Amino acid sequence: MKVTKSGQWKRAGAMILAAATRLQSAINGAVTMEAHRARKEAIQGISRGAPGGKKFKPLADTTRAVRRALRGTKRPKPLQETGEFKKAIVVRSFPSKLTAFCGILRQQRGTDGRPLVNVAAVHEFGAGPFAVAMTNRSRRFFFWAIGTGGLATDQTGGHEKAFVITVPPRPVFGPVWDMMRGGSRSRIEQEVQRRMWGGIR
């Protein structure tokens, strides 16, 4: 059986290929835009103390006292002491996979050299309790700081040999994802339509 082609097949093939490329670009752009939306909400949520509408647990009185003594911060707030955490939240696009990343990269470091992804994990899931050895110098500073902050100290506190530290969960990314998940698909679909056809259905 012989098949004979007629018409502008090359042009049709080029149009189909161009449409597929355009669709891939539209999907990647829409997904990346959604990732930037998540980044904005995470950063603003930290500033509000309630990412995704979920309020942070307040800092312990002793933590606030020590931070005031160290840095002179009048009203210390979680994840806002240096601003490094908010600045470290980035978006990375992966066009070949039609995906995007929003979060903190493993190679990012704070000014003290700590991997900021570890800091993020501690705040996202909590940590401790764990003990940190107390030296004479750190003991003197600690009780000076909490005394300056107007906190009461018991008579035996100065004889303890270690600080016992517990960091409660103060999640950033989980609440943001939960908040955005419901409308994310719809927003991405609408953005793809806008990029492909100007929003015309």
- Quick one: 113 and 154 in the same domain? no
pLDDT of residue 158: 45
Global pTM reads 0.79
The answer as to whether 29 is a domain residue is yes
Q: In the Cβ-directed half-sphere of 95, how many Cα atoms lie within 13 Å?
A: 7
pLDDT of residue 94: 96
Tell me the C-alpha distance between 86 and 47, whole Å: 9
Confidence of residue 5 (pLDDT cuts 50, 70, 90): low
Residue 108 has pLDDT above 50, yes or no: yes
Residue 159 has pLDDT above 60, yes or no: no
Strand-strand pairing, 90-94 and 99-103:
antiparallel
- Quick one: 38 and 133 in the same domain? no
The answer as to whether 110 is a domain residue is yes
Tell me the C-alpha distance between 70 and 67, whole Å: 5
Over residues 46-96, the pLDDT tens digits come to 999 999 999 999 888 888 877 777 766 666 788 887 889 999 999 999 999
Which residue from 116, 163, 51, 68 is spatially nearest to 59, judged by alpha carbons? 68
- Quick one: 27 and 95 in the same domain? yes
The answer as to whether 52 is a domain residue is yes
Residue 194 has pLDDT above 90, yes or no: yes
Confidence of residue 16 (pLDDT cuts 50, 70, 90): confident
- Quick one: 192 and 106 in the same domain? yes
Taking a C-beta distance cutoff of 8 angstroms, is the pair 123, 78 a contact?
yes
Range of the domain at 143: 127-167
Over residues 122-145, the pLDDT tens digits come to 999 999 888 888 888 888 888 777
Residues 6+ apart with CB under 8 A from 31: 93, 98, 99, 100, 188
- Quick one: 151 and 67 in the same domain? no
Please tell me the total count of domains within the chain. Answer: 2
The answer as to whether 3 is a domain residue is no
- Quick one: 151 and 54 in the same domain? no
